[in-house]
């Protein structure tokens, strides 16, 4: 059995296969996931699991060096944006449009779908290195 706190097999497998600058997305329940990109569907009911709880769990395991966030997140859901900043610390944030974020999903190793229903609760995490 895994010693780390992250128990989800699919997420753990994706993270263990990621290399430097590979990307992993976490999205709300309405985020369109492109065909051909692995979907890890955690959505159970409205707002379960929450986006921020999923982000916290992923960050237990994944070293990140940059995040991509839609400009609309900061504008439309400022309290969520503040929670994201708290969780990622001083990690570099690159702002792109929501349309650009959706287009960038095709380059992600996987997209984790949550039950979140807060507008623009989406992020792309760029893998860093631990050395």
Q: Specify binding-site residues for substrate.
A: 28, 98, 120-122
Minimal CA–CA distance to 88: which of 106, 103, 73?
73
Longest dimension (CA), the chain: 42
Q: How far is CA 14 from the centre of its chain?
A: 12
Residues 78 and 94: their CA atoms lie apart, in Å, by 16
Which entry of 13, 17, 20, 106 is annotated as an active-site residue? 20
Per the annotation, the verdict on 20 as an active-site residue is yes
* Residues classed as catalytic: 20
């Amino acid at each position: 059995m895994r010693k780390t706190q992250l128990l989800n097999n699919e997420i753990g497998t994706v993270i263990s296969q990621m290399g430097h600058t590979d990307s992993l997305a976490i999205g709300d329940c309405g985020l369109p996931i492109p065909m051909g990109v692995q979907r890890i569907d955690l959505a159970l009911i409205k707002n379960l699991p929450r986006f921020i709880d999923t982000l916290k769990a992923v960050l237990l395991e994944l070293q990140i060096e940059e995040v991509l966030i839609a400009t609309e997140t900061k504008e439309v859901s400022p309290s969520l944006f503040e929670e994201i900043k708290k969780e990622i610390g001083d990690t570099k944030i690159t702002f792109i449009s929501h349309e650009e974020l959706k287009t960038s999903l095709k380059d992600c190793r996987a997209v984790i779908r949550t039950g979140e229903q807060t507008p623009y609760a989406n992020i792309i995490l760029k893998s860093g290195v631990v050395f």
